[in-house]
Amino acid sequence: MCAEGFAKRSGGESGLPGPIGYVNNPRTRNIEPDPVKSRIINRGFKEFAEGRHSLESLRHRLFFLGLMSSVGKPLVKGIVHKMLTNPIYIGLIPHKGELHKGTFQPIVRKEVWDGVQKELKRRSKPRKTKEGHNFPLTGLLECGECGCMITAQYAKAGKYIYYRCSKKRGRCTQPYVNSVSLEKQLKAKLEAIALPNHWAEIIRAEMECMMQKESKEQHSFSQNLEHRINVEKAMPLTICSQS
């Protein structure tokens, strides 16, 4: 299948949206990587290939980086899985059970793609041991008092999540803390540190788009202001005499 045919099918002429991370180019009748979303997707592929995420944690990671559904919520796991298994991201077009090389720019490198497929296959195998709860912050945080890892448990019939020190080194005076309070503390810490380079790239691309938009708005404002000044100059001056 040619790239033009794929572009028609995915929205190049019909106006329908293309695959997540791509935008349609009506001039070339093809698709091209979105400058911001493509970087987020590429980062998501890399992190998943490294074994750092489940589908559940990856959808929240993508949301944190700025990739979300049309209603502003995290992508559902089915969409994330479909994205991870879509060969479009390495420049291949699936058609009638076969893969054809496209003429558009890939978002993900082939070796990263292979790593993702390997990780998906590994995760699909049944586990011999009983799997515990997938609390999002366990394994990431240490107790500030004794240095032990933070663990978690459900409370009030599974309605709330509470985190606490595992106390594997003995006595620790730190109390339980609910997930909402801990997330606020974590957010405050993150806002106080420098951004990683890949986040800076994403923000830089977004700022460039914002600056282009502001430039257009400023040009429009200047034109309107100049027009109003010319109108004011053309109006006759009227002087009211005092009675």
Q: Residue 65 maps to which CATH number?
A: 3.90.1750.20
Q: How far apart are the first and last CA of the chain?
A: 86
**Residue 117 resides in a domain:** yes
Q: Is residue 195 in a domain?
A: yes
Q: Judge residue 111's burial from the number of C-beta atoms within 10 Å of its C-beta, 0-12 exposed, 13-18 middle, 19 or more buried.
A: exposed
**Residue 16 shares a structural domain with residue 98:** yes
> Is residue 3 predicted with pLDDT exceeding 50?
no
Average pLDDT over residues 93-97: 86
- Domain assignment present for 221: no
Q: DSSP 3-state assignment of 147?
A: coil
Structural domain includes residue 151: yes
Give the confidence band of 182 by pLDDT, cuts at 50, 70, 90: confident
Express each pLDDT in 116-145 by its tens digit.
999 999 988 776 555 556 676 777 778 888
Of 91-100, 134-143, 211-220, give the lowest mean pLDDT range: 211-220
pLDDT reading at 198 higher than 70: no
In terms of residue numbers, what domain contains 66? 3-121
Pairwise CA distance, residues 98 & 83, whole Å: 18
Same domain, 24 and 107: yes
Total domains, the chain:
2
Is the domain of 28 the same as that of 100?
Answer: yes
Query: Residue 125: its pLDDT value, please?
Result: 79
The number of CA neighbours under 13 Å toward the Cβ of 200 is 5
- pLDDT at position 15 over 50: no
pTM for the predicted model, two decimal places: 0.50
pLDDT at position 7 is 47
